[in-house]
Copies of this chain bind each other. A is one copy, B any other.
Amino acid sequence: MTTQCKFCPLNRKDAFVNMSAEEVGFMQKFKVGELTVDPGTPILMQGSNAPQLFTALSGMGIRERHLQNGARQVINFVFPGDFIGLQAGLLGEMGHSVEARTQMRLCVFNRSELWNFFKSHPERSFDVTWLAAMEENFLGESLSSVGQRTAVEAIAWAMVKIFQRGQSLGFVTNNTMDLPFTQRDVADAMGLSLVHTNKTISRLKQQQLASWSDGQLQINSLEALAEIAMTELRPLARRPLI
């Protein structure tokens, strides 16, 4: 027997909407197991018709999409609480791959149950849709970054977004959090070359705004970064857990 949902460590974090005991009970039935994967492990493959859906319990990863010429676009970064596989669950095919960047613990659901989900628990299906809308919203912001922001602006924006997400999950102490991603990941996320990304990051470091080395991201002034990124610092909404 895997860990019970009522002991789920995420449900206690205030980044998330708390579930009622009844809801937890229902989710428990929906859950079919737990999966732990090592860094680098592919979790879902672009184009695949995966039978399983996941919620990230711990660890981080990336969503990425490959083009025919080998180019890679990182769609976004995966944090604990993220729901993985919505596209497979609904469309029958993933538009992107998901890959672990740290060791990750995943809560596993059965895709075939998704429909029961909608039928019997409208609140929960509403939550799924809420997450989808949130994702759509975020991708719109990303698109604006890649399309309209300069390299510095884009990287400042990415740092702000990542850092805020980290804060909400309690990953930040002393303005510092662990970042398991490579500079190539960030470069591919912002549509920049690795070299230029590297140079841009060092520029931000010189300006004492943010430093990222040895897998540690330290932000000196989130406000200053947000200013550069032309984005507003707003507290993140509480997310529902699936």
Residues of B within 8 A of A137 (CB): 87, 91, 95
When chains A and B are docked, how far (Å) is the Cα of A219 from the Cα of B122? 45
When chains A and B are docked, how far (Å) is the Cα of A132 from the Cα of B73? 21
A107 to chain B minimum Cβ distance, whole angstroms, is: 20
Q: Is the C-beta of A49 less than 8 angstroms from some C-beta in chain B?
A: no
Q: Is the C-beta of A173 less than 8 angstroms from some C-beta in chain B?
A: no
The answer to whether A148 and B67 have CB atoms under 8 Å apart is yes
Can you list, as one digit per residue, whether each of A55-75 has a CB less than 8 Å from chain B (1) or not (0)? Answer: 000000001010111011101
Residues of B within 8 A of A87 (CB): 133, 136-137
Q: Is the C-beta of A161 less than 8 angstroms from some C-beta in chain B?
A: no
Residues of B within 8 A of A171 (CB): none
A131 to chain B minimum Cβ distance, whole angstroms, is: 9
Residues of B within 8 A of A149 (CB): 67, 71
List A128-165 residues whose CB lies under 8 Å from chain B: 128-130, 132-137, 139-144, 146-149
The answer to whether B144 and A143 have CB atoms under 8 Å apart is no
Query: How many copies are assembled?
Result: 2
Q: Is the C-beta of A237 less than 8 angstroms from some C-beta in chain B?
A: yes
Q: Is the C-beta of A29 less than 8 angstroms from some C-beta in chain B?
A: no
The answer to whether A65 and B129 have CB atoms under 8 Å apart is no
List A73-103 residues whose CB lies under 8 Å from chain B: 73, 75, 86-87, 89-91, 95-96
Residues of B within 8 A of A122 (CB): 118-119, 122, 125
Contact status of A133 and B191, CB under 8 A, knowing A68-B230, A144-B67: no
- Please, could you name 23 A-B residue pairs with CB atoms under 8 Å apart, sorted by A? A63-B140, A67-B148, A67-B149, A67-B230, A72-B148, A73-B143, A73-B148, A90-B126, A91-B134, A91-B237, A96-B140, A115-B126, A118-B122, A118-B129, A125-B126, A125-B129, A129-B132, A132-B132, A136-B136, A139-B139, A146-B191, A147-B188, A148-B191
